[in-house]
A and B are shown apart, each in its own frame.
Chain A
């Protein structure tokens, strides 16, 4: 099976001397193509740091990282920008839509940086918005959309460049339970269509709907198991 993420002995140190913080400490983790993975753990346990490294927004202090077979730990800023653009889609807790742009214009943004011609951009953006159920909201500004709709626009933006990997850091943190379920349904569908999904979450009900759960604590992976398909049986706190 093809490996999408391979973290090998990754450490991330912030600051130096007395103020040194080991946000990640010798983390090794492999995620294969087609997986749907939740990352859980207490606040400050290094989940976001790991996501940033996986998402090529940050470089590890130590260790190597292979993304889709490519060694990316030592790449320069421009190459990382290109990898983020082509291979990775991000979904954030606060959506991060640009308020002055309409839904379709927001979704077109990543394709502008990919150099895709205007016409194709429009077609693909409309397609992506249709996929998340917003075909009738193409020209609405973010402030004309509900939180759930905004997050769906953000998902459309994340998938429009056809990434191999979708990264979501607490994507449902700002949503109510109903819209949370809408977003999770979309994630499951995207995963079913072949995109690898990695999602940080605090909510057990959210993690339960993935295929695999990785637990972080104090910058280390302490538990890594398949998610129970049966909703009632999951042990929420690992041993």
Chain B
């Protein structure tokens, strides 16, 4: 008997019992849908984070406070980075063209009768260069503003809108933590970075920030949250990283373990990759387990089916079906169930991924590898879990099978 005949026969049998066939497929459908969705979302998360870091440009370095151990253990990082560190880097590291220390807190911001809660970020004029952030109207604060700790503020575009509406904010007075600031500029829209809206932020001189708003909170000097640094070019990244590390080790009198880290864009991408790979792997493992359970479901139903169709098997053997014919017939039924389940599940998974990318910033994608893998694995599961029932059917003694009423 050829394969086409077997296929035809299997389809007839499976469509004769549609509800059961559908229920049998359910496990595989769910398994595949979850594989496709979860891997898609995992990769979407990775792509999203990667794009965010890539958007920073290849020349950017981040200096973050705390030892490796401290960073892994707590989110309340030790305050080991200071404004003086940033100034030292700017003046002593030759491969660096811009240094933007950042100190940020959430504050209440008031303009007349309107008020809102927003992030207040203290930094230096280099911030606009390092982060490629342009002013739309007015100006960003200058080195002189920083030097004098002037009470001036540049508003993110969303923040400007929520405080001023259609009114012109330039020259107006707003109050941050009840201290009045003069609005000198409005930034261009920039979008979110890792989920934080950069347009809902008030940018002020870092000196004003530490003297008026946060106060001196570090025993080492004026605390900063972290420092963004721009290297001269991509080729000097490694040199800059090395020089900054040496300088800070000297300044912090490090003898043993660094109480800071210097990260390049490449490092960040690597970390993102590691985290999301682990995540994707975990999701895939969960989905794999549900596929396996789906396979067991198929085996279970096929075993029941063999028992129910004992007489049919006996009859087929009596009219000339060989053991192999029977084996192939039941194997094909199992594989068809699994493969169709795989295809339906994949379609649902693609739907899920599309939905996720529509309602979240994750650019979840359906990877062709995941689809191919899911469908092949489903077919394989059908083969694997179909063997036992099919062998049972093939080995039936036709006389016994025909007699069973």
In the complex, chain A residues whose CB is within 8 Å of the CB of B323: 77-78, 81
Decide if B219 is an interface residue (CB 8 Å cutoff): no
Which of B311, B314, B402: most chain A Cβ within 10 A? B402
User: Are B320 and A96 interface neighbours, CB within 8 A?
Assistant: no
User: Are A113 and B325 interface neighbours, CB within 8 A?
Assistant: yes
* Contact A98 to B315, CB < 8 A, known contacts A77-B323, A82-B320, A115-B1: yes
Chain B positions 300-327 with a Cβ under 8 Å from a chain A Cβ: 311-312, 314-325
User: Are A90 and B5 interface neighbours, CB within 8 A?
Assistant: no
Decide if A13 is an interface residue (CB 8 Å cutoff): no
Contact with A along B318-350 (1 / 0, CB 8 A): 111111110000000000000000000000000
Size bracket, chain A contacts: 20 to 34
Chain A interface (Cβ < 8 Å from any Cβ of B): 52, 55, 57-58, 77-78, 81-82, 84-86, 90, 92, 94, 96, 98-101, 105, 109-110, 112-115, 157, 161
Size bracket, chain B contacts: 20 to 34
- B323 closest partner in A (C-beta): A77
CA distance A105 to B5 in the complex (A): 12
* Contact A85 to B398, CB < 8 A, known contacts A112-B1, A112-B5, A113-B1: no
User: Are B405 and A100 interface neighbours, CB within 8 A?
Assistant: no
CA distance A92 to B403 in the complex (A): 10
User: Are A114 and B398 interface neighbours, CB within 8 A?
Assistant: no
**Which 4 residue pairs of A and B lie closest in terms of their CB atoms, listed nearest first?**
A85-B320, A100-B16, A113-B320, A96-B315
Smallest beta-carbon distance B248→chain A, Å: 79
* Contact A100 to B325, CB < 8 A, known contacts A94-B405, A114-B320: no
User: Are B311 and A96 interface neighbours, CB within 8 A?
Assistant: yes
Other than A90-B319, A113-B320, give 8 A-B pairs with Cβ distance below 8 A. A58-B399, A81-B317, A90-B318, A96-B311, A99-B16, A101-B12, A113-B1, A113-B325
In the complex, chain B residues whose CB is within 8 Å of the CB of A55: 318
Chain B interface (Cβ < 8 Å from any Cβ of A): 1-2, 5, 9, 12-13, 16, 311-312, 314-325, 398-399, 402, 405
- B315 closest partner in A (C-beta): A96
CA distance A94 to B318 in the complex (A): 14
In the complex, chain B residues whose CB is within 8 Å of the CB of A115: 1-2
User: Are B405 and A52 interface neighbours, CB within 8 A?
Assistant: no
* Contact A81 to B320, CB < 8 A, known contacts A57-B398, A92-B402, A113-B325: yes
In the complex, chain B residues whose CB is within 8 Å of the CB of A52: 399
In the complex, chain B residues whose CB is within 8 Å of the CB of A114: 320
10 A-B contacts (beta carbon < 8 Å): A57-B318, A81-B322, A81-B323, A100-B12, A101-B12, A110-B319, A112-B1, A113-B316, A113-B325, A161-B320
- B403 closest partner in A (C-beta): A48
- A85 closest partner in B (C-beta): B320
CA distance A58 to B311 in the complex (A): 16
Smallest beta-carbon distance A193→chain B, Å: 20
In the complex, chain A residues whose CB is within 8 Å of the CB of B321: 81, 113
CA distance A77 to B321 in the complex (A): 10
User: Are A113 and B318 interface neighbours, CB within 8 A?
Assistant: no
CA distance A219 to B237 in the complex (A): 98
In the complex, chain A residues whose CB is within 8 Å of the CB of B320: 81-82, 84-86, 110, 113-114, 161
CA distance A82 to B322 in the complex (A): 8
Smallest beta-carbon distance A221→chain B, Å: 21
Partner of B399, one of A57, A113, A157: A57
Smallest beta-carbon distance A158→chain B, Å: 8
In the complex, chain B residues whose CB is within 8 Å of the CB of A58: 399
Smallest beta-carbon distance A89→chain B, Å: 8
Smallest beta-carbon distance B103→chain A, Å: 76
Partner of A157, one of B317, B319, B325: B319
